[in-house]
Structure 1
């Protein structure tokens, strides 16, 4: 799949990483589990965006981890009433939807 076909998923990954970075900053000192999950999620989203940008043959391997980490981050952030946590949770859920499509395409090509 050429990288242009991944554009929506790349955009979702970058937005999720951005929201997670912001949420982690806002939660520093008060919600350590939220910070840890947001940092993990941001890192894996930045990573998968790169994999998709270069149409890596390892996308299907990485995307499964992205789904797991984004779902864990969303579940944690949904527990908190802060606007930044809610934004983060929504962006994680959106990214998971995009990653599931990518995983389906990757599985079909394997």
Structure 2
């Protein structure tokens, strides 16, 4: 993988992690937190795997493809859940998750 490809994936991972952390925090402040339970859980899962994969790529782990597959799956799940909610933070998170899943899929080919 070229340095430029690495940089674009790392950027997508970082943006997704930030969006998920923001969404997580904002969801905790919503009136009906029970309705946001799955969104909150997936925000955490997604932010954590994005941060981990970002670190793993930077240290050139031999498991990039496998980790990228897991990350793409979690990003897609988080994005799908966030799309269900009309909150701006959820919509922005869904967009970041979709972009990140697409970037991760390129690493699995």
**TM-score using structure 2 length:** 0.90
Inter-partner Cα distance in structure 2 for 1:81 and 1:58 = 36
Runs of 5+ consecutive residues of structure 1 not aligned to the other structure? 105-110
Aligned to 2:66: 61
Aligned to 2:79: 74
Compute the TM-score of the two structures, normalised by the length of structure 1.
0.89
Unaligned runs of 5+ in 2: none
How many residue pairs match? The answer is: 104
Q: Deviations over 1:49-78 (max 9, x none)?
A: 111112211111111110110000000000
Return the match for 2:91 from 69, 72, 86: 86
Give yes or no for the alignment of 1:9 onto 2:46: no
Q: 4+ residue runs of structure 1 moved beyond 4 angstroms?
A: none
User: 2:21 maps to what in 1?
Assistant: 21
Superposed CA RMSD in Å reads: 1.3
In the alignment, is the contact (CA less than 8 A) between 1:2 and 1:55 conserved in 2?
Answer: no
Who is 1:100 aligned against? 105
